[in-house]
Structure 1
Amino acid sequence: MTVTELRPEGGGTSTEGLAAAEKASAEAEAMRIKNESDRRRAKLADEKAAAKAQADIESSLADAADERRRRDEARREVAARKAKAEKSAEQWRRAAKTIAIVCVIVSLPLQIMAFWDPTAWFLVAAPFVLEGVAWALLKGAEAAVDDGRPSWHYRLGALAQASIAAWINFDHGSAAFGTATGLGGALCSLIGPTIWDLHENGRIAKREGRKTWSQRWTERREARAEQVKTKKLIAARIEQDETVWERAVYLAAALGELTPSDRTYRRAWDEIHGTDPGQTAEIIAARRAARRAVRIASNGPLKDENTQLDSQMDPDDERPSKAPKKSGEDGRKNNGGTPPRRVPGEVKYSAAARTEMSNEGRRRAASKTDA
């Protein structure tokens, strides 16, 4: 709408038309500003939403990256532990073999010398039989372990054969070269097969999932501690309420329990006392009385209390008793029961009250005049 459109038919400019045009222009400008403001707010809201969505996406990607990194680290740790275990097992295997070979180098010549006889030269094969049988039995134990069969009889036979070879080395070595040589030969006959048997024992334990000595000792210690704890708990429950415990034992026997479980004990307590363990009717009543006393104390003085008077008296002073009222007295002092007269201006009334009092006075005066 323009100013020309608002001009009257006579061609003159109307003041009302100009005012209407200005008002329309102002409203249009206000609407434009409002639309622009709404557009900016909508754009800002969209930008905030987009920023929040982007932040959420980045956070999710970061969390996913952290999770992948943790999984990769866990896999690397597992792989490292596995590689270390394999390396340690291989080193232990090599060490056991090396010790066994050295022991054979020491013990076998002593046995050859012990069996050497020019007139019975064929006995020189006896040491190889003694040492060979022990190692053959150990190899049989290894095959049994790999095949998942019992291996204890192979290992027992190998140790028995090694003991015989050790006795021969000690007897001959001590007589021919002295006690030290005999003792060294005997130990070598025993140490070699024993070391290898320990290696096989480790493989058997790993295959069967046996726990280590420290693990078994820890479990036994925890079991003993649990038993002590259970005994103390039973003693405490019996001391607390023997009737409930007897009922719990009865229920446990009926339910097939060797010792009453916590669930059985709660059931027994509920049957005897009708509430949760540790609660009785007396305890609940005492708690309710205590809460009632706290509630009364928190809500202020009672009707028969005078805190202002009590605060001005010593604790050891006795509160003065009130004298009985005489007839015609209202409890005030030295006035014979007559209320005090009020002095004009003593009491401040509101304007509405003063107006009502004036109207009442005029009504009373008019009624007396009519009378």
Structure 2
Amino acid sequence: MRRIGFIVSEFPRPVDAYLLRELLALVEGGLDVRIYSLRRPSSAAAPRAAAGLLGHTTYAPRLGTSEMRAAHAGWLRTAPARYREALATAARGHAASPRLLAKVLAVWPQTVYFAERAQRDGIEHLHANWATYPAAAAAAMAHLTGLPWSFGGHASDIYIDATNLPAKLRSAQFVTTCTEESRRYLLGLAPDVDPARVHTVYHGIDLSHPPAERVEVSGLTVLAVGTLRDCKGFDTLLRAVGRVRSEGTPVRVIIVGDGEERPRLERLAQRLGIAGRVAFTGYVPHEELARFYALATMLVHPAHRANHFGIPNVILEAMAARLPVVCSPLPALGELLEDGKNGVFVPESDVEGLAATLKALAADPERRRRLAEEGFRRIGEQFDITRTAGRFAELFLDGAEPSTQREAIG
């Protein structure tokens, strides 16, 4: 059984449901996983499922404690050149991005402590979840310990600020990303990297439990899930629902999530005369989303292309719950959805198009059923967590040979 050290920014974190699913599946599949969390949890609302992994999770001691000082002193005594090289390489590599550099340096004390802890724990491979400062930490830990390392790049961590990303791609033993589109993007950043070292591993969905029993309600119930930000396109949804209501189709909306746009969206619902038909739930723990999927007729995800990368996990979850999905044609969604077969694409900000789609689906329950069944079948084909986590585990097992190179770019 290989012992893998996962370096994460924060664990557990309510918004990282996909990571929790992956870690649980890897442990269930036989990997010995140790989690090194660079920050302590900032939210008390930890997913219940994370409880089984807390015994696998290590947090660094507070700054200034004797244990933290001892870890740094140990490296400075036994490997002073490596300590200085790792720090200098990490700082130099991220100097072009002051924001990212600040984060890399802020977690340097934890990075050094975790390098020493990884040796004590008998870690055989280091893997960072996120390509930004967690990957920088893993690379520095690899530099100090000589362990092989890898990282996963997902969304904003590879697209918004790619500082030092080509160097990380060259240094890591392998790299994972969650769509073919992102894989092509990463290879374009470092054309000299062997394509066989960059792998697409989709975020998986646990299909071992049947979806919650459907709650039958009259009329159309539209569900939208996500942080309430402008880029989510929820204003387009409300305007489309206002139009559908004005034309006589009974419809209500449940918007699950919270964020800066909530007051504006509530005012918009008032102006459109649909406030009584729109429920804003606020934040809902991930494990409670199933009951909202059971209440809904369909999921609508009218997001804008800007600041949306990869395949939204909420779409995967809705399809696994046998809900038909209506969404914007985000760049990577062609890897999941075939328009008209297992989902429906509506251009972003197209109020008329979305209203027409909602009306058509409201009047055609058989089409909704076909979309839902085809969507569920698609999830089972390629996005079942047992399949995706199995592919992830293979990468760790295939890379079992110890690293012969100490250099790792932070």
Q: Which has the higher helix share?
A: 1
Q: TM-score range by the shorter chain?
A: under 0.3
- TM-score (normalizing by structure 2): 0.16
TM-score (norm 1): 0.18
Structure with bigger gyration radius: 1
* RCO higher in structure (CA 8 A, sep ≥6): 2
* Structure with more of its chain in strand, by fraction: 2
